[in-house]
Amino acid sequence: MEFLLDPSIWVGLLTLVVLEIVLGIDNLVFIAILAEKLPPKQRDKARLIGLSLALIMRLGLLSLISWMVTLTKPLFSVGEFSFSGRDLILLTGGLFLLFKATMELHERLENREVNADGNKAYASFWAVVTQIVVLDAVFSLDAVITAVGMVNNLAIMMTAVVIAMSVMLLASKPLTNFVNAHPTVVVLCLSFLLMIGLSLVAEGFGFHIPKGYLYAAIGFSILIELFNQIARRNFMRHQARRPMRERTAEAILRLMGGRRQQESSSESSEVAKAMPQEAFKDEERYMINGVLTLASRSVRSIMTPRGEISWVDAMRPVDEVRLQLLDTPHSLFPVCRGELDEIIGVVRAKELLVALDHGIDVATFAAATPPIIVPETLDPINLLGVLRRAKGSFVVVNNEFGVVQGLITPLDVLEAIAGEFPDEDETPDVIADGDGWLVKGGTDLHSLQQLLDTQVLVNREDDHASLAGLLIAQKGQLPTVGEVIELPPLRFQVIEATDYRVDLVRVTRARTDNDEEESPQ
């Protein structure tokens, strides 16, 4: 036991353990990549078998030191190159490593890890174990030769190998999980294997490449990848602060080509370029855009505003009520007592006409179907459930003071998604006019923004929902007829207005320098 007190023994052991761990990292990385090809339940078993075989091989080779020495003797020569048993093993292992790393890289870059039925294709357990054994033989030879060259004591060599393999065994699972969870790390590790395979081939031909060069390159690449992972984690943390629904909607809209935000990421832009816009027609893009942005809208942007509501006054004579029902194309009416805020109930025009013919009082008949009232702060998604309970009727939107702001029918929600469906007594809100559009002041900003394919009209923090509200907010007061308001890239000119509202606006796109250069002189 006196040799245990020799400091040189402990220094040699420690140095050899460190070198054995360093030399085994490439083996560990390759085992992690191969283990990913197996079903999750078999990965731990494959790792244990692979590392156990590596330990057995290294101990077995160490016990055959006399045979190891003969491996360095030349067996034959080809031209200027002479080959020993060690050279042939290194050459074969290097070529296998180059082939396997190239195939793995090709598989990942071509994204061929999924079968046609959508399930991931797993490799055979013993096929993976066989590949691990082949690579273990190559890496074990390199590690054993290093041990023989550093230490003369066989016990020290074996102890260092056992300690190094134990450390690798403990680190194998965390390393495997990390590598499999980061696709860029897998590609980086495969590039390391290509470099190591090339160095083994060079060693087989007698060209020695110092390991320090390889490890310096690997270390620098790992440092750069560390910066990349930190940047990616910070980006994901920033993205996580935004609602998932909003992020998903924006991603889908970019894929459809419906949004051209300059701040879009390069990755999303590349995906959008890969998917041609012809894959979706304009109507389809409009409808999908409407569905995805519905949740971010306010009830006020969907409802029919108070000024456009047709309602029945129960205080008016029966003949006037009958004429109103016959002259208006609407099928549903709110019945009120003297003013719109005094709603009695909701009636169908044909049912009320029959009731009038039977002499039933208008207020009495309307009271049988009281209105469904919702606050103007209600979320549009929750509004859908209320409309289902209305069973084809409409809901009345009130503010906090109980004043009627508008009403919403299922058709209003459909228009928010698919575009306007004018009634017989209505004209379209937006009409093409030469190189611009004539737009009603009460036009919903979300619909107008989708139609004009821009992102400058709607702001979540604004409390207005119509084009007139936007222009008043931009001007700070009610604009007058002929006044022009610039909101790049759009230009708004007031065509019709009264003392209390904006009725009609002409919208055009501002001319750019490129447009002026292309215009004929």
Task: Tell me the pLDDT tens digit for each residue of 167-224.
Answer: 877 877 777 777 667 777 777 777 877 887 788 788 788 888 776 777 788 778 878 8
Mean of pLDDT values over 120-132:
73
What share of the chain has pLDDT > 90, as a percent?
Answer: 13
pLDDT at 520: 47
Phi and psi at residue 297, in whole multiples of 5°? -90, 165
Distance CA 165, CA 136 (A): 12
Does residue 3 surpass a pLDDT of 70?
no
Distance CA 503, CA 439 (A): 8
Tens-digit pLDDT profile for residues 486-514 = 888 888 999 988 888 888 999 998 765 55
More confident site: 104 or 385: 385
Question: Looking at the chain, how many residues does it have?
Answer: 521
More confident site: 154 or 301: 301
Mean of pLDDT values over 115-131:
65
CA 266, chain centre distance (Å): 13
Phi and psi at residue 440, in whole multiples of 5°? -70, 150
Closest to 200 (Cα-Cα) out of 105, 71, 64, 86: 86
Question: From the CB of residue 113, how many other CB atoms can be counted at a distance below 10 Å?
Answer: 12
Helix (H) or strand (E) holding 396: strand 395-398
pLDDT at 206: 81
Q: Are 186 and 179 in contact (CB under 8 A)?
A: yes
pLDDT at 300: 83
pLDDT at 148: 57
Closest to 27 (Cα-Cα) out of 137, 158, 157, 155: 137
Does residue 347 surpass a pLDDT of 90?
yes
Name the packing angle between helices 154-181 and 40-62 (round to 10°): 160
The sign of the dihedral angle between the CA atoms of 234, 238, 240, 245 is negative
pLDDT at 348: 92
Token pair of 475 as six digits: 């001007």
Q: State the pTM of this model.
A: 0.45
pLDDT-based confidence at residue 316 (cuts at 50, 70, 90)? very high
More confident site: 460 or 48: 48
Q: Which residues pair with 396 in a beta bridge?
A: 373, 407
The sign of the dihedral angle between the CA atoms of 374, 380, 382, 386 is positive
pLDDT at 402: 87
Does residue 115 surpass a pLDDT of 50?
no
Closest to 20 (Cα-Cα) out of 156, 222, 206, 223: 156
Distance CA 246, CA 254 (A): 12
pLDDT-based confidence at residue 235 (cuts at 50, 70, 90)? confident
What is the b/e burial string over 229-243, where b = at least 16 CB atoms within 10 angstroms of the residue's CB?
eeeeeeeeeeeeeee
More confident site: 58 or 143: 58
Mean of pLDDT values over 253-266:
49
Question: From the CB of residue 387, how many other CB atoms can be counted at a distance below 10 Å?
Answer: 19
3-state secondary structure of 120: strand
Q: Which amino acid is at 412?
A: D
Q: Which pairs with CB-CB distance under 8 Å and at least 24 residues apart come from 386-389?
A: 387/413
Q: Which amino acid is at 181?
A: A
Among 281-290, 394-403, 423-432, which is the least confidently predicted range? 281-290
